[in-house]
A and B are shown apart, each in its own frame.
Chain A
Amino acid sequence: MQNHFELFGLSPAFVLDKQALEKAYREIQSQVHPDRFAHAGDAERRASLQWTTRVNEAYRTLQDPVQRAKHILELHGVDVAFETNTQMPTDFLLRQLELREELEAAMQKKDSALLDALRGTIAGEKILLENQIAEGIDKRKDFAGSAGPVRKLMFLDRLIKEIDSAYEEIE
């Protein structure tokens, strides 16, 4: 499969050198972006579109911690199975229920300060999880064992998204 890290001349790791990624992304875009080929023939414009699309996709994947981790695991033959594997530890699920109840309450009170607080709490928990994933993938090379924490991180991302749409609903 395609290795998104290689495209940017980076070695695969969960802890990301953001500056190097951004620099490589911009260097490549400055060569292939459709703006460079607005006056070119169809063939070049098509090639430019395909390349830019691919570079954007790779960049987006690497910028997002969940997608980045999933990509590394897949490179090592581990399927995170977001869709099918919904088995999660009981304590984690209970905590999720708790957070969701808080979200419901904040929505009912139409209280954006409560949403802010909840968002902050989850952001904190995300950092802990990301550290755990970095440890598992980069240090211990325990790819199969990292799938669990990655799934957890994805749960938290979804919750953040729900909080964001809650803001829109109460506004």
Chain B
Amino acid sequence: MALLQIAEPGMSPAPHEHRLAVGIDLGTTNSLVATVRSSVPAVLPDSLGRPLLPSVVRYLADGKVEVGYPAQAKQAVDPKNTIASVKRFMGRGVKDAAHIENSPYDFVDAPGMLQIRTAAGVKSPVEVSAEILKILRERAEISLGGNISGAVITVPAYFDDAQRQATKDAARLAGLNVLRLLNEPTAAAIAYGLENASEGVYAVYDLGGGTFDLSILKLSRGVFEVVATSGDSMLGGDDFDQRVFCWAVEQAKLPPLGPRDMRLLQMKAREAKEYLTFHGEAPLTAKLSSGELVDLSLDTETFCSITQTLVNKTLGPVRKALRDAGLAVEDIKGVVMVGGATRMPQVQRAVAEFFRRDPLNNLDPDKVVALGAAMQANVLAGNKPQGEDWLLLDVIPLSLGVETMGGLAEKIIARNTTIPAAKAQEFTTFKDGQTGMSFHVVQGERELVADCRSLARFELKGIPPMVAGAARVRVTYQVDADGLLHVSAKENSSGVEASVVVKPSYGLADADIERMLRDSFEHANEDVHARALTEYRVDGQRLLEATRSALSQDEKLLGNDERESIRTAMLSLEKLLPGNDHRAIKRAVDALNRATEDFAQRRMDEGVRRALSGKMIGSL
């Protein structure tokens, strides 16, 4: 029997150069990019030294786009074309986005996701988000002096599938290779846990600009395990501004406001809210377009009383997560506060009261998510040797199901299931001779489909005619490590197989993304082919590197023929890489992927065997 080679722990058998990887916090109010340099995570500031990028995008009639502070400065003068808090609209239709009546935008209801009409044309929230990501990508590339090989993008833990898909699409549009979508509270836990070498069960209370998440994690050496997560993807600091805004309208007895005045007063409301974090009373003054002067003063007591219901609203999900985790308040060792909105003293107080302990906030609540994302990106890029990295086990926040007779939702994968996860369910025909079945994929906890979120509809056709109840249609739900769902269906009672793979279609079709990519290239005067060539080259380079490293570790698992075919595929890819034919490169990449399929499986089996034999050598 051949002896197995085992690399010394911590020694990477095939050392590679350090890959540039970043973590991006794509926030409702502000966005940030961070990276790990010489083992230290740091937020990358802009050329003026400002770490935050306001998540505001302004479209001009000539097609130019302003992002961040310049756009923010124009909010009140050009409200219809200046999009703020776009995260609230990601993966949402007009009817399910919050505060739409108080938004100054010109919405267009499109199937699936709403769109916004601007001076530069109709824009989807995905395109708007991509503008923010592009700026962050450029910032990182300038600051790090090279192309970014991959990015970890954070999303609220409570984001559903459509919202996640939309975020990933935006990253793709911005030319980023997404290493992983990472849940924001989990990112915060990584930054916090590693900084403080914490062990035990922690709660992360994350109240951002537009979303609220509560995650419960078990931290132990080298493992971050999410036990339960809960939240409200329509609750955040914006809602506190909104309460102040409504209070001001009422106090000053204002008539219905135009877009400019509305935006102006909303900005003043936010300023007043922020002022109250450090003062007992805040002035709220604004000069409306009519010339009327709004001159109010908001004290802490009033502010607390008009926002009390919002603070209480966060405690429901806290209790739910504890129940799901099977834990009591006493089991929680610490509560980490994340998100700018947790700076409000009444929020701190409510959390302290609920958990009967002072919350932890020794890390900047605005930066902690980006820092954690950067640390995870560093691990995913392979920059940390095995042994120094960690294992991250996350869950899906909302149950995934399918519509059954009578408009009921049958759960297929339950919420808080550790991902990746898959589950199959069998269905049958209702009528004799039925040759098609239609499926409706939904997400949510409610019993009625109408109360859940519709993710996708698809049809399985070509079922051979049989008597009712004879067909066996197996529907498989697979959730990947990004928390994204892939559904496939197969009829296999008769030996005839029909199968269909759907990606949740609530977001964008691939064709939409391609069109947007083309549009953005036209503006940026970039060449689509040049871009595709660069992308495939990077892809090919990466695959070659990975294959070489796999061969150096496990070549013994290969038969002669197989080794030959992998070598041949590698050679032909190597030859094509310097050329200019991006299609040929793509084909060579696909061919090498196919050639290594069995090898990859065997390597994985081998890894499991090694893992078990390491600790149970006696039982073998």
Contact = CB atoms under 8 A, between A and B. Distances in A.
A53 B546 CA distance: 22
Given A35-B392, A38-B180, A53 B421 contact: yes
Interface in A41-63: 41-44, 46-53, 56-57, 59-60
26 contacts: A24-B611, A24-B615, A27-B611, A27-B612, A27-B615, A29-B393, A32-B604, A33-B481, A34-B420, A34-B480, A35-B180, A35-B379, A38-B180, A39-B382, A39-B546, A40-B600, A42-B593, A44-B604, A49-B478, A52-B420, A53-B422, A56-B418, A56-B420, A57-B421, A60-B418, A165-B445
Contact of B596 (A38, A43, A59): A43
A47 B616 contact: no
Interface of B: 19, 149-150, 179-180, 223, 316, 319-320, 323-324, 379-382, 386, 391-393, 417-423, 445, 478, 480-481, 542-543, 546-547, 550, 592-594, 596-597, 599-601, 603-604, 607-608, 610-612, 614-616, 619
Nearest to A25: B393
B611 A44 contact: no
A136 to B, nearest CB: 25
Contacts of A43: 593-594, 596-597, 599-600
A30 interface: yes
A41 B319 contact: no
Interface string A65-99: 00000000000000000000000000000000000
A39 B381 contact: yes
Contacts of B419: 56
A40 B420 contact: no
A24 B611 CA distance: 8
A150 B526 CA distance: 64
Task: Summarize A's interface: helix, strand, loop or mixed.
Answer: helix
Contacts of B546: 39-41, 44
A26 B391 contact: yes
A24 B612 contact: yes
Interface of A: 8-9, 23-24, 26-35, 38-44, 46-53, 56-57, 59-60, 164-165, 167-168, 171
Contacts of A8: 612
Contacts of B619: 9
B415 to A, nearest CB: 12
Contacts of B417: 56, 60
Given A8-B612, A41-B592, A43-B594, 19 more contacts: A9-B619, A24-B615, A26-B223, A28-B612, A29-B393, A33-B391, A34-B480, A38-B150, A38-B380, A39-B542, A43-B597, A43-B599, A43-B600, A44-B546, A47-B600, A47-B601, A53-B478, A167-B319, A167-B323
